[in-house]
Amino acid sequence: MATPRSDALVFFGATGDLAYKKIFPALQAMILNDGLDLPIIGVAHSDWDIKKLRARARDSLTQAAKDQGIKFDKDGFEKLSAKLQYVDGDYNDPATFDAIKKALGKAKRPLHYLAIPPSLFGVVAKGLQKVGCADEARVVVEKPFGRDLASAKALNATLHEVFPEQSIFRIDHYLGKEPVQNLLYFRFANTVFEPVWNRNYVESVQITMAENFGVQGRGAFYDDIGAIRDVLQNHLLQVIAMLAMDAPVGSDPESLRAEKLRIFRAMKPVDPKDVVRGQYKGYREVEGVKPDSNVETFVALRLHIDNWRWNGVPFYIRAGKNLPITATEVIVDMKTPPLSLFDEISQKESNYFRFRFNPEVIIAEGARVKKPGEKMRGEPVELVARHHPRPEKSPYERLLGDAIRGDNALFTSDESVEAAWAVVDQVLTHEKPVATYKPGSWGPSEALKIVEGDEGWHDPTPEETSPC
Ligand code: BG6
């Protein structure tokens, strides 16, 4: 069913880090590529004015262009700048919301984007409601959605006092990534996978999200959450859901969300003994981090999914800062052939599927072929279905565009976000201290024990550039 487009964008947290790194570049791209044409009202409590916000937007776009190795687009900046307005004020002060209402002018269906800490969601939602700016509006909220299951439930209840569920868009930028979408497409647009995508053929699944940098000036924020809340409960469980869910009954958002919810509910709560937490040496010296911090910058764990498709198949998940490389990769390891007829094939050498989400996009299948020559001996090869350097559309451009159109397929529902918290709820508080690791290593050695058998972790390596 077609839903009306939002007619203004109000973004809270406009002077913050996320706005600088992701939102301004996404807005410029939406203006240039998709003809986005609506008032954009930045809101923050920073003692700024519109001049300062425009300068910040310019810096952000200059930096984004530099990162992509392209020229700063002056025309794009000017178009964005012309649509920008700014409201400065305390979220507890009703005058801030009066000013937002004034800035909205004739707009009737604003999209409010809350790029602010979850502790402020309630106060902002109520502030908007009081001045009538929540009626017919949509709200986008950033992750992490709460700190644990109980706080996520409380947050859902608070938001539901102001917005109906279909107007709440819980964003997880991983879901807007081209290769994450391709995971779903590739699985369900080909018949060959379904017969083998289960416990009969899959030995184990691994996902590694490695970053070769530390917490990058976000010490205080990060030290309050750690790796499990920052990327595992959301980005990585979402990827597992895409990988493990059953086929939705249709391509409509509701069918997709329904299947995802079923798979989240089938995930067993992670057992604390299946988790290793690590902290890189030097983390405690980062500004904003407590000198005795026990917060993890690395986590490795074993997850089980209790359903007919996956029972008994371990899902190994690992994420960390200051690892040797920046790459996110999934490996679906298939079982070895029942008999090794020609040469011994170990688990490490058996078939696998590889999905790399960044920095490049890769979908590949690992197989063995006979080496030319007289002997029946083989060697590993990779059949590459997709390999390109970087996705064209940024996740924020895609997701904000979807939210403006009212399409919630790639956003997380209230039930799913709670089900995902339920998976990690038992491993959010810790008596055991974190194990330290050397920056540039693959985390603490204890993490090796998470993977059962002799297979070990598949460490992502730098890719050669590929022609296709
Ligand atoms: C964010 C986390 O959600 O995702 C960061 O807060 C992390 O800590 C980032 O670095 C990774 O996203 P991407 O798209 O750069 O892989």
How do residues 215-258 score in pLDDT, each as one tens digit? 988 999 999 999 999 999 999 999 999 999 999 999 899 999 99
Question: What is the SS3 string spanning 136-198?
Answer: CCEEEECCCCCCCHHHHHHHHHHHHCCCCHHHEEECCHHHHCHHHHHHHHHHHCCCCCHHHCC
Crossing angle (nearest 10°) for helices 237-244 and 414-424: 110
Is residue 465 within a helix (H) or strand (E), and if so which, with residue range? Answer: none
DSSP per-residue letters across 337-366: PSS-SSS---GGGS-EEEEEEESSEEEEEE
Q: What pLDDT score does 26 carry?
A: 97
Q: Rounded CA gap, 115 and 111, in Å? A: 12
Residue 211 CB–ligand 1 contact under 6 Å: yes
172 CA → ligand 1 middle, Å? 10
Q: What pLDDT score does 468 carry?
A: 41
The three-class DSSP label of residue 388 is strand
Q: Rounded CA gap, 295 and 225, in Å? A: 7
Residue 210 CB–ligand 1 contact under 6 Å: no
How do residues 100-137 score in pLDDT, each as one tens digit? 999 999 999 999 999 998 889 999 999 999 999 999 99
- Joined tokens for residue 38: 């609506």
- Joined tokens for residue 370: 């006979």
Question: Could you give the residue numbers annotated as active site?
Answer: 235
Q: What pLDDT score does 68 carry?
A: 86
**Chain centre to alpha carbon of residue 120:** 21
Q: Rounded CA gap, 38 and 341, in Å? A: 65
Report the range of poorest mean pLDDT among 55-69, 165-179, 389-403: 389-403
Residue 230 CB–ligand 1 contact under 6 Å: yes
123 CA → ligand 1 middle, Å? 26
Record the pTM: 0.94
Q: Rounded CA gap, 19 and 457, in Å? A: 35
Q: Exposed, middle or buried, 4 (CB in 10 Å: 0-12/13-18/19+)?
A: exposed
Question: Using 50, 70 and 90 to split pLDDT, how confident is the model at 391?
Answer: low
What is the phi/psi pair of residue 151, to 5°? Answer: -70, -30
Q: Rounded CA gap, 111 and 408, in Å? A: 13
Question: Using 50, 70 and 90 to split pLDDT, how confident is the model at 2?
Answer: low
Q: What pLDDT score does 386 carry?
A: 83
Q: Say which residue the tokens 């937002």 belong to.
A: 100
Residue 399 CB–ligand 1 contact under 6 Å: no
Crossing angle (nearest 10°) for helices 237-244 and 178-188: 20
Q: What pLDDT score does 467 carry?
A: 43
For residue 234, give the ligand 1 atom closest to its CA: 3
Q: What pLDDT score does 57 carry?
A: 97
Crossing angle (nearest 10°) for helices 24-34 and 395-405: 70
235 CA → ligand 1 middle, Å? 9
| Spatial CA neighbour of 10 closest among 89, 74, 118 | 89
The amino acid sitting at 202 is: V
Crossing angle (nearest 10°) for helices 50-68 and 74-83: 150
Q: Is the pLDDT of residue 97 over 70?
A: yes
Which residue minimizes the CA distance to atom 16 of ligand 1? 358
For residue 358, give the ligand 1 atom closest to its CA: 16
Which residue minimizes the CA distance to atom 15 of ligand 1? 358
Mutate to test the pocket of ligand 1, among 170, 174, 177, 231 (most ligand atoms within 8 A of CB): 231
Q: Rounded CA gap, 75 and 174, in Å? A: 29
For residue 209, give the ligand 1 atom closest to its CA: 16
231 CA → ligand 1 middle, Å? 7
Q: Provide, rounded to the nearest whole percent, the portion of the chain with pLDDT above 70.
A: 98
For residue 326, give the ligand 1 atom closest to its CA: 16
